[in-house]
Amino acid sequence: MSWTYATLLALLAVLLALSWSPEAESAAVPSSTGSAKDPQGPLKKIFMKEADASNFFSKRSRRGAKSQDENNAEQRLILAADKRKRDFHEEKRNEFESFAEEENDEQDERSRESTEQWRKFHYDGMYPPQE
């Protein structure tokens, strides 16, 4: 039991140390052109302020209605996927029907052959053989 308490205490200490470290405030890639706090050039386009970053996803979640072109494109994709599914299942059904028909024909042929052999074997000469 003491091991679990010791492990829990160690994990809690690491968590507190990480949360109080200055690196936990923001993540940035160190650059050789300037400090990470004040990026210049192309880095300025990549990184944004903390306030803007916190609002980014909330703004993105309130997306406006889709345009008619977007709806049409999405519907075309759905219809194309449905057509591919229908074609696939139709092809599988045709393959199965062909297989079942061949199996049925083979079974009928075996049955006919065995019936014919039985008739030849049991022919008593009184009636003409059926062919």
> Each residue of 57-91: b (16+ CB within 10 Å) or e?
eeeeeeeeeeeeeeeeeeeeeeeeeeeeeeeeeee
**In the predicted model, is pLDDT for residue 113 greater than 90?**
yes
Q: Please give the pLDDT value at position 81.
A: 97
pLDDT average, residue stretch 86-92: 97
What is the band of 31 on the pLDDT scale with cuts at 50, 70, 90? low
Q: DSSP 3-state assignment of 64?
A: coil
What is the band of 18 on the pLDDT scale with cuts at 50, 70, 90? confident
Instruction: Using a pLDDT cut of 90, give the percent of the chain over it.
Output: 36
Q: Please give the pLDDT value at position 30.
A: 56
Closest to 113 measured CA to CA, from 121, 125, 103: 121
What is the band of 50 on the pLDDT scale with cuts at 50, 70, 90? confident
pLDDT average, residue stretch 65-92: 94
